Amino acid sequence: MKHLFEILQNYSKEDIYPFHMPGHKRNFSQVPFLNMDITEIDGFDNLNNPTGILKELNQRLAGLFGAKESFLSVNGATSCVHAALFALCGSGGKIAVSANCHKSVYSALLISGAEPVFMEPEYMAPLSVFGSVKPETVRKTIAENPDLKGVFIVSPTYEGITSDIRTIAEICHEKAIPLVVDEAHGAHFFLSDIFPETALSQGADIVIHGLHKTLPFPTQTGLLSIQGDLINRDIIASLMTMTQSSSPSYILMGAAEKGLSFMEEESGEQWKKYIENLISFRKGCKDFINIKLLEKEDYPDEIFDYDMGKLIICGKKTSLSGKKTGEILTKNKIQAEAVCFNHAILMTSLLDTAEGFERLFRALKEADVSDISDAELKISPIKRNEKISMREAFFSKSEFILPEKCQGRISADFVSIYPPGIPVLIPGTVIEIEHIEILKEALRRNLEITGFDFSKGIKVITE
Would you tell me which residues interact with ligand PLP (CB under 6 A)?
76-78, 81, 102, 104, 154, 158, 182, 184-185, 210, 222, 420
Strand 305-306 to strand 291-293: parallel, antiparallel, or no bridges (unpaired)? unpaired
In terms of Cβ atoms closer than 10 Å to its own Cβ (0-12, 13-18, 19+), residue 404 is exposed
By C-beta, is 210 or 259 nearer to ligand PLP? Answer: 210
In the complex with ligand PLP, the residue whose CB is nearer, 60 or 185, is 185
Comparison of 44 and 158: residue with beta carbon closer to ligand PLP: 158
* Among candidate residues 137, 201, 114, the one with its CA nearest the CA of residue 166: 201
Q: Provide the terminal-to-terminal Cα distance of the chain, rounded to the nearest Å.
A: 63
Q: How far is the CB of 220 from ligand PLP (least distance, A)?
A: 6
Q: Can you tell me the distance from the alpha carbon of 52 to that of 383, in angstroms, rounded to the nearest whole number? A: 48
Distance separating alpha carbons of residues 190 and 199, to the nearest angstrom = 10
For residue 372, how many other CB atoms are within 10 A of its CB?
A: 16
To the nearest whole angstrom, how small is the minimum distance from the Cβ of residue 195 to ligand PLP?
Answer: 16
> In terms of CB distance, is 76 or 150 closer to ligand PLP?
76
Q: In 175-202, which positions are buried (b, 16+ CB within 10 angstroms) versus exposed (e)? A: eebbbbbbbbbbbbbbbeeebbbbbbeb
Cβ 158 to ligand PLP, closest distance in Å?
6
Work out how close the CB of 387 gets to ligand PLP at its nearest, in angstroms, rounded to a whole number.
Answer: 27
Kindly tell me which of 78 and 141 has the beta carbon lying closer to ligand PLP.
78
CA-based nearest residue to 229, from 156, 173, 165, 185 = 173
Closer CB to ligand PLP, 182 or 386, in the complex = 182
Nearer CB in complex with ligand PLP: 182/352: 182
CB of 104 to ligand PLP, least distance (A): 5
Per-residue HEC secondary structure of 134-179 comes to CHHHHHHHHHHCCCEEEEEEECCCCCCEECCHHHHHHHHHHCCCCE
Residue nearest to ligand PLP (CB): 76
Give the nearer residue to ligand PLP in terms of CB position, either 222 or 309.
222
Specify the length of the chain in residues: 463
Query: Are the CB atoms for 104 and 78 separated by under 8 Å?
Result: yes
CB of 310 to ligand PLP, least distance (A): 12
Using the minimum distance from each CB to ligand PLP, give the nearer residue, 126 or 218. 218
Minimum CB–partner distance for residue 50 and ligand PLP (Å): 20
**Long-range Cβ contact pairs of 448-456 (< 8 A, separation 24 or more):** 448/417, 448/418, 449/415, 449/416, 449/417, 449/418, 450/414, 450/415, 450/416, 450/418, 450/421, 451/413, 451/414, 451/415, 451/416, 451/423, 451/425, 452/415, 453/400, 456/400
Q: How far is the CB of 280 from ligand PLP (least distance, A)?
A: 28
Find how far residue 119's CA is from the centre of its chain: 18
Between 190 and 361, whose beta carbon lies closer to ligand PLP? 190
Please state the closest distance from residue 185 (CB atom) to ligand PLP, in A: 6
CA distances from 87 to 95, 202, 236, 385 (A): 11, 21, 6, 26
Angle among Cα 90, 96, 100 to the nearest 5 degrees reads 110
Say how far apart CA 77 and CA 240 lie, in whole Å: 11
Secondary structure, 3-state, 339-350: ECCCCEEEECCC
Least Å from the CB of residue 386 to ligand PLP: 21
CB of 296 to ligand PLP, least distance (A): 21
Q: Which is nearer to ligand PLP, 345 or 412 (CB)?
A: 345
